Amino acid sequence: MTLKLEKLKSFNGRKGPLLLIIMDGIGIGEPNNSNAVYIADTPTLDKLFASELTIELNAHGSYVGLPTDKDMGNSEVGHNALGAGRVFDQGARLVNAALKNGTVFQSDQWHRIEKRAEKGGAVHFIGLLSDGNVHSHIDHLYTMIDRCAETDFKKVRIHILLDGRDVGQRSALDYVVPLQDRLDKISREKGLNYAIASGGGRMKVTMDRYNADWNIVKRGWDTHVLGIGRQFSSSEEAISTYYKEDEKMTDQYLDPFVITDASGYPVGPVSDGDAVIFINFRGDRAIEISRAFSEKEFSDFDRGPLPDVLYAGMMEYDGDLNIPPDYLVQPSHIDRTVSEYLCAEKVKMFAISETQKFGHVTYFWNGNRSGYIDESLERYVEISSDKIEFDKAPNMKAVEIKDKAIELLKTGEYRFGRLNLANGDMVGHTGFLDAAVIAVEAVDRCVGELLNVIRQLEGIAIITADHGNSDEMFTLDKQGNKKSKTAHTLNRVPFIIYDPGYHDEYDLAPKTGEQGLSNVASTILNLLGYEKVEDYDPSLIVMKDKDYKR
């Protein structure tokens, strides 16, 4: 299919470039002392929020393809919507439907898992254990466990990754205890052998992303596959022990643990003939462990002898690289992203972020597509993230990202650039308010410097976010006690156009309350001097031209 953009009749863009600045995790929250964005000293954002070219966007729930408007947005679906110009059904919604209508259990992959179970192989489930609905949902695990019991799978093992990030910081037992009760009941009533085998916190075990720290994946491999690690008689004992040993410890940073039987042997190492299902539907933190299980030639850590296992992801986590080869739920096909159209028009562009969000401004932005669309027109720059807890370095790599963006902008080669400043999200996830304030202030300074360059180059900048996080750092319980919040928020996010050359050529679209991140792509096209793509969601600006189509 040949892609083509039409030029606007009355607006050709500005002389200089268009820069999209994504302030990850910086939403619009209540003006109170839990809101790091509100507390922070942000002279640049204050001016932008007061400008006439500002509006609020929805970045959660159905606005980004999630099942309900109670579902928090996240960086994956946010960048999909930003780059696609339309809303596609996303992970949780797809998995919900596939489990509800039973297509998961009718798939070739599930039938292959059944055959392994019939021959005595254990079925292992690995993944994030919570109802945060960002990477996974415990109900999906329950549905598959129940199906295993209904069809008399003899041996099932669960390897739990504890959340404390998209849910309460010390909420692990709220999920572990009911799971253990369910497994005990199945084992008792049906004479089957179902148990929790291993676990650990999501930031310590298994769920690394973007090759930031393969030691995290190796710890998961040792724990889940080899049964090597600190031993406990139950997951409840492991979690309670870690809590007692460090009163400040939160679930996402819990060390790995292995559950043993009465004889001291691990109850669930992965063996020849077994099947392994990774239950996360979101791709970024599932790709590395999937590679470890599915690649014959693998060198990122020493796996030891690779057992003969059938490995399946809940979804395909990387469509271009086919990771993993086997998966249970078919993803939405996101085609004709805004970057594909711009490449078709020979528009040169760049994308920059640090490691933690690099895949978001490239892979997710491009509709879950790896690599360049057209390497002759695009430049992707990854700045290596710090390998420490982000509250200890809340500036992260904002300055380096800003400096590289300025360098590229000043070359005059690029018509469009996009960057992600990760501070508001990654530091917000730590739950430390003071650190989040520093993070937001770092973003504000960098945005200010970027806008100065855009003014000098006679360009335009769009400033927005993919979801909220630092805009609500704690909540109050019924007694008025503070409870740190590490999860994303449901708050709207800012959308601001910084256009020093603005002469009333366009207006912001009427504020209907329905605008979301998917409206940004058409706006980008308009500000570059192009008509929107016909089936893209409407632009957030209205050109003052009677022939203009919004």
Nearest to 334 by CA among 1, 520, 86, 5: 86
99 token code pair: 């489990």
Domain edges within the chain = 18-89+333-543, 92-329
482: tokens are 């503070």
| Torsion angle, alpha carbons of 418, 423, 428, 433, to 10 | -140
Q: Give the whole-angstrom CA distance, residue 38 versus residue 97.
A: 39
List the chain pLDDT tens, one digit each, 550 residues: 799 999 999 899 999 999 999 999 999 999 999 999 999 999 999 999 999 999 999 999 999 998 888 888 989 899 999 999 999 988 888 999 999 999 999 999 999 999 999 999 999 999 999 999 989 999 999 999 999 999 999 999 999 999 999 999 999 999 999 999 999 999 999 999 999 999 999 999 999 987 889 999 999 999 999 999 999 999 999 999 999 999 999 999 999 999 999 999 999 999 999 999 999 998 889 999 999 999 999 999 999 988 999 999 999 887 657 799 999 998 778 999 999 999 999 999 999 999 999 999 999 999 988 899 999 999 999 999 998 889 999 999 999 999 999 999 999 999 999 999 999 999 999 999 999 999 999 999 999 999 999 999 999 999 999 999 999 999 988 888 888 888 899 999 999 999 999 988 999 998 888 999 999 999 999 999 999 999 999 999 999 887 777 7
**Calpha distance 157→127 (Å, rounded):** 12
Query: What's the rounded Cα separation, in Å, for the pair 537 and 506?
Result: 18
Contact between residue 502 and residue 53 where contact means Cβ atoms under 8 Å apart = yes
What string of H, E and C letters represents the secondary structure of 363-397? HHCCCCCCCCCCCCCEEEEEECCCCCCHHHCCCCC
Token code pair at residue 454: 């855009």
Q: Record the tokens describing residue 331, joined without a space.
A: 């993803």
Tokens of 118: 């019939």
CB 403 within 8 A of CB 442: no
Fold annotation for 18-89+333-543:
Alkaline Phosphatase, subunit A (3.40.720)
β-pairing verdict for 275-278 and 123-128: parallel
CATH homologous superfamily of 92-329 equals BPG-independent phosphoglycerate mutase, domain B (3.40.1450.10)
Residues 153 and 123 sit within 8 Å (Cβ to Cβ): yes
Site of tokens 């791709």: 283
Distances (CA, A) of 480 to 176, 223, 347, 474, 532: 27, 40, 54, 11, 49
DSSP state of 258: E
- Catalytic site positions: 75
pLDDT score, position 275: 98
Distance between CA atoms of residues 190 and 83, nearest Å? 49
